[in-house]
Amino acid sequence: MKLKSIIKDIQFQNEYVLVNKNDNIFEVSKALAYGTKEKPKKKDKKQFSILAAYVLDGKKPVGLVTKEDIIEIIVKKENIISDLKKIKISEIMTYPFFSLDVNDEIQDAVNLIMEKNFLTIPVLENGELRGVFTVFDALWLLETEEANL
């Protein structure tokens, strides 16, 4: 079975954010924390469990950044907020990165996420992001398969 057949399934509508390669670390940090680059009003604050921000050059994914990447750069460089506004996300993003295609087999996606110990992998169609496949999706599929035995 191909990823295309399940990518629109509710189980696979994971939270993720898209950022531009020229955005700075401070903007991307807000996007990961709030699900948007704009800080929500206090009463509108939601708890997000966004695993990664996908870095785009136009519509093409060129890298990804996790919360851990940002924490690491802050700790290593002892940056203050004004410094974070000067560093482009493209300077710290992971590239090249693994991706899946909508025509890849689901079992291959599960195997890749488990073998590489990834939390999330972008799913592309014609080079554009169509969704993300996460470790939670892989676990859900494995559990569903086991229940059907």
Q: Could you read off the pLDDT of 112-123 as tens digits, one per residue?
A: 988 988 888 999
Q: pLDDT at position 102, please?
A: 92
Does 11 score more than 80 pLDDT?
no
Token pair of 26, please?
């401070």
- Domain of residue 76, residue span: 3-147
CA distances from 39 to 20, 27, 36, 47 (A): 18, 10, 7, 13
CATH number of the structural domain spanning residue 81: 3.10.580.10
Q: How many domains does the chain have?
A: 1
Is the pTM for the entire model greater than 0.85? Answer: no
Helical spans, DSSP H, in the chain = 25-34, 67-77, 81-84, 106-115, 135-147
Round the average pLDDT of the chain to a whole number and report it.
Answer: 80
Q: Which uninterrupted H or E stretch holds 63?
A: strand 60-66
Gap between the Cα atoms of 119 and 109, Å rounded: 12
Q: Is residue 10 very low, low, confident or very high in pLDDT (cuts 50, 70, 90)? A: very low
